[in-house]
C-alpha cells in the first residue's frame, strides 16, 4: 500500500523547481481545459486510490501544457525528491499526472539506469585522468 502523498508537499517541490502554481480549485481542474490559461503552470488536487490511499494529481495548464507536464514528471522523479509519477489512473485527463511516493525497487532501478547512462562518460574521464597522471609523472602514452 503506497504512503499518503499530500498535495501541498507536491506543490512545494514543484514551486521550488521553478514552476508556477496556478492554485486552481478542484472543480476548475475537473473541467479538463488545460489550454485555456495564458500562463504555463500547474495545479494539484487530492485523489483517493482504489485501496483508499490519499495520493495527489498534478495537472499542467497553459499554452504549452505538454512541456509543463514533462517538467512536472522530471522534477518529481529526482532522486532527492523520491516520487513516482504515472498517468495510468482512469479518471485522469491527458494533462494530469498521478503522484505517489517511490518504492525502494523503483529508486534502485533509477539509480542503476542513471549509472548505465553515465558509464561511458565515467570511463572516458577515468582514462583521461590516468593519461594525465602518466604525463605528469614524466611518461607519455605510446600511440
Residue 143 counted as domain residue? no
| Residues 110, 74 share a domain | no
For residues 29 and 95, state if they share a domain: yes
Euclidean distance between CA atoms 41 and 99, whole angstroms:
16
| Range of the structural domain that residue 11 is part of | 7-102
Q: Tens digits of per-residue pLDDT, 23-82?
A: 888 888 877 678 777 889 999 999 888 888 888 999 999 898 999 999 999 999 988 888
39 and 68, same domain (yes or no): yes
Co-location of 19 and 84 in the same domain = yes
Grid coordinates belonging to 131: 593519461
**Residues 10 and 44: beta-carbon distance below 8 Å:** yes
pLDDT at 38: 83
Query: What's the pTM value of the predicted model, to 2 decimals?
Result: 0.76
- Are 111 and 121 contained in the same domain? yes
Total domains in the fold of the chain = 2
| pLDDT (mean) for 82-108 | 87
Residues 130 and 98 in one domain: no
Backbone dihedral region for residue 79 (phi beyond 0: left; psi -120 to 50: alpha; all else: beta):
alpha
Amino acid at each position: 500500500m503506497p504512503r499518503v502523498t499530500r498535495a501541498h508537499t507536491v506543490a512545494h517541490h514543484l514551486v521550488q523547481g521553478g514552476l508556477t502554481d496556478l492554485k486552481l480549485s478542484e472543480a476548475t481542474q475537473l473541467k479538463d481545459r488545460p489550454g485555456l490559461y495564458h500562463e504555463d503552470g500547474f495545479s494539484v488536487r487530492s485523489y483517493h486510490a482504489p485501496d483508499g490511499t490519499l495520493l495527489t494529481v498534478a495537472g499542467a495548464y497553459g499554452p504549452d501544457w505538454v512541456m509543463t507536464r514533462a517538467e512536472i514528471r522530471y522534477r518529481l522523479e529526482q532522486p532527492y525528491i523520491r516520487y513516482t509519477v504515472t498517468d495510468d489512473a482512469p479518471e485522469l485527463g491527458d494533462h494530469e499526472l498521478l503522484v505517489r511516493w517511490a518504492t525502494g525497487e523503483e529508486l534502485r532501478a533509477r539509480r542503476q539506469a542513471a549509472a548505465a547512462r553515465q558509464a561511458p562518460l565515467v570511463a572516458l574521464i577515468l582514462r583521461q585522468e590516468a593519461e594525465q597522471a602518466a604525463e605528469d609523472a614524466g611518461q607519455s602514452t605510446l600511440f
